[in-house]
Amino acid sequence: MRRPIKKRPVVQPDIKYGSVDVERLINYIMLRGQKETARKIVYAAFAEIEQAKDGGGEPLEIFNQAVRNAGPLMEVRSRRVGGANYQVPREVRPERRMALALRWIINASRKQKGVPMHKSLAKELMLAAQEQGDAVKKKEDTHKMAEANRAFAHFAW
């Protein structure tokens, strides 16, 4: 029997841009319940994007483009069949695609040591919008893994 569908809390749009996706980014960045600190980081990163000489522009458009470019279309899930584990390629649901893209962008930003978080976040968002950077590389690796295991697609459930 299938699990019941999880009731997820509805995320309210953020104050400045009125976007649910930006509020999700703020929630993902937030550590130990310090939402105001997370909000300052995101808004400072967006201000950094706006002021950037090379890839600057409308921060919301760059953010949306970055999330689209970093979100995977396929992923592999482990499936046990007759004593063997197979990596079965599966399509990614839109909600999960968004969650993975945000997580990968934030993790890539946090990996950059010695740089303020808002600057590394702005840099990673601009790189992802141009289909570069660690988050997009992670997506491409995931797609390669799914492509390599396409032979096990008939095990999909």
Question: What would the pLDDT profile of 109-129 be if each residue is shown by its tens digit?
Answer: 999 999 999 999 999 999 999
- Answer yes or no: is pLDDT of 47 > 80: yes
The mean pLDDT of the chain is 90
- Answer yes or no: is pLDDT of 55 > 60: no
**Rg from Cα positions in the chain:** 18
Q: Output the CA angle 15-17-23, nearest 5 degrees.
A: 65
Q: Which two tokens stand for residue 129?
A: 């919008």
- What b/e sequence results for 54-78 when a residue is b if at least 16 CB atoms lie within 10 Å of its CB, and e otherwise? eeeeebbebbebbbebbbbebbbee
Q: Which residue has the higher pLDDT, 62 or 151?
A: 62
Mean pLDDT calculated for residue range 91-119: 93
CATH superfamily of 20-155: Ribosomal protein S7/S5 (1.10.455.10)
Mean pLDDT calculated for residue range 131-148: 91
Per-domain boundaries in the chain? 20-155
